[in-house]
Amino acid sequence: MDSPVHSPGIRCLKFTLVAGLTLLTTDALFAQSAGQSDVDALKSQMNQMQRQYEQRIEAMEAKMKALESNASSGSILNTRVLTDANGVEGPGKAPAPMLDESFLKSLTRNFTFAMYVRAGFLFNGNGGAGTFNFEVPDNPGGRFRLGNENDFYMEPSFAQAHLLGDSPDVADVSFRFTPNFFTHGVFHESFLTTGNSGFNGTNSDLQVGMREAYAEMKNVIKSAPEITFWGGERFYDRYNTDPQDWFWLDTSGFGVGAYNIHLGPGNLYLAWIGANHDNLNLLNNSNQFNEVGDQFMQTWDARYKDIDIGFGKLALVLIGNYVQGAEVTPNGGTTFTDVHGATDTIIVRSSNAWGIGGGAVWQYDYGNKSYLRLFALFGYGATNFSAEGFGNNTGAFETDVNNFILKRPASNVHEIAPGVFAGSVNPLRSANTYRAGWEWVWNVTDCFSFDLWGNWNQSNQGFRQWGFRGTSGGTLATTHETLLQAPQTSNLLSVGVRPVYWFADNFAIQGQGGYNYVSNVRGYSGTNAFGRSGSFGIMTIAPTIKPKGGYFTRPEIRVFATYSIWTNSLKGTTTPTGEGGNTSGSGPPYNHGQNQGWLIGSQMEIWF
C-alpha cells in the first residue's frame, strides 16, 4: 500500500536538483565572458552534484518503502523501541514494542476474545441454600444442566494470531490462553480469594485455574501449509452432550500434536498428552517416596476425521495409555477404616498399567445449526477417554486388606506390623469402559427448537468393594447389618429432552425432562444405594429472555423451578455438593431419607 505521507527531506532534495539543472541551462550565457576551461570545470561539478543527489534520493525512497512494508506487515516484532522523552532508549531496559499505529493495527486485526459465563442463585425446597445439584450416584460425570447448576463459572479466552506477520514466507503463529474462575455455591462475594475459611469446606470463595495456554504454528511445511502443529495445554477436540454436561471424549491436557494432515478422504489428527497426578487426590503430596514419584499418565491420541460418507461425516478414534507403576501412597502410607472398625495403615504399590481403546463418531449437519450425532467407544485397561484415569489403586488395595482380615483370598497383601499392610495391586488389568449414545439438535422453526439425547455407559473398575447397606455407616463391630460386596461393573442409562419455544422475539419458555437408570452402585457404603440399582428423574420449567435463532443462541437470563424424584434405593446419594464440600451425595435437606426435592432460582448464561 502506498503511503500518503511524503518525506520533507525528499521534497527539499528534488527542489535543489531542479535548481541545479536550471543553472546548467544558463552556461551558454557565461561562455562569452569567461574562459572555456572555467565553464567545463563548472559543468563537471554540477554533474557530480546531480549524481550525488540522485543517489541520496534513491536511498531515501528505498528506506521509505521498507518502513511502509513493516507498517503493513501486522507484526509486533517489526515495530520501533520505546524511548524516553528525549528519544533515547533507557539504559538496561529490554527492547519493547512502541504503541505506534502499526502496533495497534496488529493488535486489533489479529486479536480475538471469547467468553463463557454462568452465574445465578438457587435455593432448596426448604428455603435453604442450594449448595448441591441433583445427580444420580456412581456416574462417569455430568449432570442435567438446566436449573441444576450450583456454581458460578467463568472462562475467558484470549488469542493472538499472526505473531510473526502474515507473509507467506514466515510461519503462521498464534497463541491462546484461557483461565477459569469458579465457585461451588453462592456466597456473599465471589472475588474474595483469601481469608474466607468455612465456605463449603474451602479457604476462599473464588478458585482460579488455567484451562489453556498453547501455541500453534501453520505454514511450517511449505508444500503443505495447512498442517498445524501445537504445544502447551489446551482443550483437545472435545465431544460432549451439552444439556447433560457430559464430556464423553475429552483427552484435553498438556502435550504436543499436529492436525489437518490431509490423507486420503479425511484428515489425520495426532497428539501426545500427559497428565501429572498427586496420588490419592491429596492437595499436598510432596513427600511421595519412591523411585518414580507421583503417577503420570501418557495418552497417545490418533483421529482420522472429516471422512465424507455421502450422508454426514465420520471420525475414527484410536487411543493408547500408559502409567508407570510405583508406590502410590505417600511416604509412610495412608490410613483407612476396615470392616472391623479398626484404623489400618496401608502402603500400596501398583504395577505398570496399559490401555487401548477407540471407536467412531458420526455427525450429520442439515442446516440452521441443526445436527444428529452418534458415537460408540470402547476402552480396555487404563483407557477411559480422559487425560486422567489412574484407577482406584488405593480402593482396590483396601478391598484386599478387608479380604485378608476376613480370611478370604487376598493376593500380594502382607501385614508387616500390627495394623500395617503393604503390597501391590493393579485393578486396571481387568478394567474396561464402553459407551455409546446420540444427540439430536433441531432448530425446527424460528420459534421452536429442541435437543434430544440418550447415553449408555458401562464401567468395570476392576475390583469389588466391601461395604454396608443402610444409614448407620456401620462396621462389623457396631452394626448388625449384612456385610456386602458391590459388583465391579456398573451401567448408566440416560435420556433427556430440552425444548425451547419463543412466544415473542426475545421471550421464550424452555423446559427439561431427564431420566437416569444406574445399576450396581459402587461406593456409598452405609447408604441404601450400596450395591443396588435405582432410577432418577428430573424436570425443569424456565421462563427465559433469549434471542431468537436456535437452541444455542445466547445470552439467556432465566428463572427456573426444578423438581427431582428418585427411587428409595438411592436415598441419601443424589445431592452431591461438589468439590471442596460434601461429595457423599447427601446434601441437606434431602439427606434424611427423602426421595424427592426442589431447586428454585435464577441464572444468566452467555458465550461469545
Spell out the SS3 assignment of 559-602.
EEEEEEEECHHHCCCCECCCCCCCCCCECCCCCCCCCEEEEEEE
pTM for the whole structure: 0.80
Q: Which of 252-256, 412-416, 468-472, 575-579 has the highest mean pLDDT?
A: 252-256
Q: Is the pLDDT reported for residue 93 higher than 50?
A: no
Mean pLDDT to the nearest integer, 568-575: 92
Alpha-carbon dihedral 121, 125, 129, 135, rounded to 10 degrees = -80
Spatial neighbors of 198 by CB under 8 A, at least 6 apart, are none
pLDDT band at 67 (very low <50, low <70, confident <90, very high): low
Q: Is the pLDDT reported for residue 279 higher than 80?
A: no
Q: Is the pLDDT reported for residue 340 higher than 80?
A: yes
Sign of the C-alpha dihedral, residues 107, 109, 111, 114?
Answer: positive
Kindly report, residue by residue over 417-474, the tens digit of the pLDDT: 999 999 999 999 889 999 999 999 999 999 999 999 999 999 999 999 998 887 555 5
Residue 48 has what pLDDT? Answer: 79
Q: Is the pLDDT reported for residue 285 higher than 60?
A: no
Q: Is the pLDDT reported for residue 22 higher than 60?
A: no
* Helices (H) then strands (E): counts for the chain: 5, 26
Spatial neighbors of 489 by CB under 8 A, at least 6 apart, are 458, 459, 460, 461, 520
SS3 at position 223: coil
SS3 at position 429: helix
The grid coordinates listed for 524 are 456409598
* Mean confidence (pLDDT) of the chain: 83
Q: Is the pLDDT reported for residue 492 higher than 50?
A: yes
**Main-chain dihedrals φ then ψ at residue 83, nearest 5 degrees:** -130, 175
Q: Is the pLDDT reported for residue 357 higher than 90?
A: yes
Mean pLDDT to the nearest integer, 254-265: 97
- Neighbouring CB atoms inside 10 A of 241's CB total 22
Q: What would the DSSP string read from start to end of 237-301?
A: S-EEEGGGTEEEEB--EEEEEEEEEEETTEEEEEEEEEEE--GGG-S--TT--SSS-S-EEEEEE
pLDDT band at 546 (very low <50, low <70, confident <90, very high): very high
